[in-house]
Amino acid sequence: MNPDKFIEELSKHNIDLTEKQKKQFQLYFEDLIETNKHVNLTRITEEKDVYLKHFYDSITSLFEFGDVFKENMTLCDVGAGAGFPSIPIKIIMPSLKITIVDSLAKRLTFLKGLVEKLGLSDVELVHGRAEDVGQNSKYREKFDLVTARAVANMTVLSEYCLPLVKKDGYFIALKGPKAEDELKTGQKALSVLGGKLIKDKELTLPNSDEERTLVLIQKIKNTPKKYPRQAGTPRKKPIK
């Protein structure tokens, strides 16, 4: 998917990029590839693959769950790595107030420079483990929307993310193909943590065999205070 095809595909979903936004995506690609020469950010480096598997992939939740996204809402991206999905979403919806949580300082250093180069405002970068941030009163149950992409299985991911979601807010997980089993095994965790599965959507990225699953979860009650448990515990002893 070259940049022109990217623009064309977005327009099919009623997203018409301005010249500024086109330039921001181009700068994003250039900065990602340049930084990746000395900091391990991504294995995907071809322009057509970055536009498809990073940029377009990140924006799919806007197509599928568009009614969840509102102007000026707060969004927390857990384990964003090189900024996916939150930075592409922020480029499309500049009014969003974004908080990015990542445990690796090198990635946040890249993101700090990127945010400046792209001229983005209302982006906060938080260095820490999701388990610790979820117990911090500054962030706990403070976000309208929390996203995560390819971070962990649904049981573990729910414990990372749902404590950050406001009651009546949403958690969107961007998963790989056929996430049905994960969703089944994650039902107990969702219930315990205050979440309810609203919708899951399987899709294939354009002109490829890249399959994805988008999962939309609503926070219907507050998360018990004991969650998230201390760093490392959700993976070692997942909720069953």
Whether residue 99 contacts residue 22, with contact meaning beta carbons closer than 8 Å, is answered with no
Determine the residue type at 37: K
Any known ligand binding at 131? yes
Does 149 belong to an annotated binding site? yes
Residues 144/175, Cβ–Cβ less than 8 Å: no
CA 134 to chain centre: 16
55 known member of a binding site: no
179 is in an annotated binding site: no
Distance CA 2, CA 222 (A): 43
How far is 44 from 46, CA to CA, in rounded Å?
6
Helices vs strands, H then E, count in the chain:
11, 7
Instruction: Count other C-beta atoms under 10 Å from residue 42's C-beta.
Output: 17
Cα→Cα distances 119→91, 122, 142, 217, Å? 10, 10, 25, 31
- Is residue 25 annotated as involved in ligand binding? no
**173 near 193, Cβ under 8 Å?**
no
Binding residues for S-adenosyl-L-methionine: 79, 84, 130-131, 149
Annotated binding site: 79, 84, 130-131, 149
